[in-house]
């Protein structure tokens, strides 16, 4: 894939992933309120599972397909969809007013993301 097409694929995927993250976050705030960042937790768990599954599937694909789809899906869509930088900001914000909730958020997030990546990879290799 030519460099310009690769950049365009990453940009398009990132825009779509970011837009979906925004919609999900708004939906979660509407459903559960804003006391806990449920939307960020959800997109990071789902995104971690998705990136694990995609990495597993793309690794099995012929080289031409890998070069075509990896920039869009992995760097673009999943990169735009997941929000580790936002997670960091939310932890700091929570810690200022609710330190125990901030610790709980940290404690539950990373293990769930890692398990989701592992499950995604297992699913990719079994299907």
- Taking alpha carbons only, the member of 12, 72, 84 closest to residue 48 is 84
The mean pLDDT of 103-110, rounded to a whole number, is: 96
**pLDDT of 91 strictly over 90:** yes
pLDDT in tens, 63-78: 888 888 999 999 999 9
- What's the pLDDT at 68? 87
Q: Are 105 and 36 in contact (CB under 8 A)?
A: yes
| pLDDT greater than 80 at residue 106 | yes
pLDDT at 10: 96
Residue 41: partners with Cβ closer than 8 Å, 6 or more residues away: 105, 108, 109, 112
Length of the chain (residues): 127
């Amino acid at each position: 894939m030519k460099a310009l097409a690769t950049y365009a694929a990453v940009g398009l995927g990132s825009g779509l992933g970011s837009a979906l993250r925004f919609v999900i976050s708004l939906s979660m705030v509407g459903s559960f309120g804003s006391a806990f960042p449920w939307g960020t937790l959800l997109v990071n768990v789902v995104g971690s599972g998705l990136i694990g599954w995609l990495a597993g599937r793309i690794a099995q694909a012929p080289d031409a397909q890998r070069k075509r789809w990896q920039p869009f899906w992995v760097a673009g869509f999943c990169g735009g969809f997941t929000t580790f930088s936002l997670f960091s900001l939310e932890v700091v914000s929570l810690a200022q007013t609710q330190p125990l909730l901030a610790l709980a958020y940290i404690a539950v997030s990373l293990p769930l993301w890692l398990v989701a990546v592992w499950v995604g990879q297992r699913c990719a290799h079994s299907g």
